[in-house]
Structure 1
Amino acid sequence: MPKTLPVIDVSAPICCAPVSAGPMSDDAALEVALRLKALADPIRIKLVSILLAADDGEVCTCDLASGVDVAESTVSHHLGQLRKAGMVTSERRGMNVFHRARTEALDALRLVLNPNCCK
C-alpha cells in the first residue's frame, strides 16, 4: 500500500528556495511534492490549461466539464484538489461556479523548479 503524505496547508504560496539552490529541507520538499501531487492528473492539467487560456480568465464549471469531457461532479472534485493546493480560486454566482487559475501560485511553483534560477 502506498505511503500517504501528511495533510498540511498548501494554499499559501511556496516559500522555499529553488531546488537547484541546494538540498531542500524535508518540510520544503513536502510542500513542493504536495503541490505537484495536486497537478499529477491529466484532467487537472487540462483544467489548468483551459483556465489559463480563458479570454476573461475565468470559466464556469459547466464549460470546464465539456472541455475535458467528464461530468461536472468529476470536474468539481478535481477543482477542489487544485483549490486545496492554492492553484485555483472559485466564486459562486447564482447557480454557477466560476473558476480562475491563481497564476502567482503556478509561477511560484515554476520558479522553485527552475534549474537555472541560481546561476
Structure 2
Amino acid sequence: MLKLIEGAMVLGALMLYLVPAMIADAREREDAFAVTMVNILLGWTVIGWFAALVWARHPVSDRRLKHFARRAQRAVARVTIDAIVARAESRGSAIPTFNPRLVPMVARIAASSMRRQRD
C-alpha cells in the first residue's frame, strides 16, 4: 500500500512540475516545445518554473512573432553572407599561391567584364 501511495505522490509531483508545459500545449502555442524545454531544464529552480508558467500563460501576439521571425531571418542572412564573403576572400587570396597559371586568365576575365560594363 505504501508503494502505491508513493507512486501516486511521484506522479502528482511530476504532473505539478510539468503544469507550464501542459498549459502551453493546451493553448496550442507555437512555441510550446520551447516552453517545455525551459520547464524541464530550468524548472527545478523555482524561478525557472515560474518563468515557464508565465510564458505559457502569456498571450501570443502575431505582430511580435512576425517581428521576431523577421529579425531571425535577417540574422541568419547576415551570418550566411559574412561566411560567403569570408570564403570568397580566402579563395581569392589563395588563387595565386596554388595555381599561378590562373592569374592571367582571371585578369583577362576581369578585364573583359569591365569592358562589357562600360559599353
For normalisation by structure 1, the TM-score amounts to: 0.21
Which structure's residues are more often helix, by fraction? 2
Which structure's residues are more often strand, by fraction? 1
- Of structures 1 and 2, the larger Rg is shown by 2
For normalisation by structure 2, the TM-score amounts to: 0.21
